[in-house]
Amino acid sequence: MTKTQRPGTRWVVGQLVLLAALGATAPWHRGQWPALAGTVPGTLLLVYAAWTGLAGVRDLGRNRTPSPVPRPDSTLVTTGIYARLRHPLYASMMAMGLGWALLWSSAVGLALAGVLAVFLHAKARHEEGHLCRHFPDYPEYLRRVPRYVPWARRAGP
């Protein structure tokens, strides 16, 4: 890592590349099944993405950073949507990717949405290691609150 590179930069760049690829590729490779088949689930996923994303940004406030490394002066947020989900911003991007691919009826988009989900899951697990070291209460929060879906029963790592 160079002196000017911030911790987590590779994660952020990878995330941006995958999001851009998905955004451009799904419309380019569209129409691979009847459009109506993806309209309702795609729309519902985009609504979930908007809800989790906007609530996550609002509730995280000044603690928000694209890097998986928390800011030195950050505080652990466990209220609002963070009382229901540990990673609403990642959940939002995963749901957005899947919903976008479904709306375009794009199998290539679905494949990229899957790659994005795997990437974001790896980033979340990496971030949780930093959060456990930064916040003494995080391991208990990790056991109690699900990662991406509010009604998920198992919340563990």
| Cβ atoms of residues 78 and 141 within 8 Å | yes
Report how far residue 71's alpha carbon sits from residue 127's, in angstroms, rounded to the nearest whole number. Answer: 12
pLDDT of residue 91: 97
Range of the domain at 74: 12-144
User: Per residue in 25-71, pLDDT tens?
Assistant: 998 988 878 888 889 999 999 999 999 999 999 999 999 998 899 99
Counting DSSP H helices and E strands in the chain, the numbers are: 5, 0
What's the pLDDT tens digit per position in 121-157? 999 999 999 999 999 999 999 999 999 988 876 544 5
Of 57, 144, 58, nearest in space to 93 by CA: 57
Q: Give residue 153's pLDDT.
A: 62
pLDDT 10s digits, 87-109: 999 999 999 999 999 999 999 99
Alpha-carbon torsion (128, 157, 97, 10), positive or negative: positive
Length of the chain: 157
Q: Residue 157: inside a domain, yes or no?
A: no
Query: For the domain that residue 97 is a member of, what is the CATH number?
Result: 1.20.120.1630
DSSP, res 72: T
Number of domains the chain is built from: 1
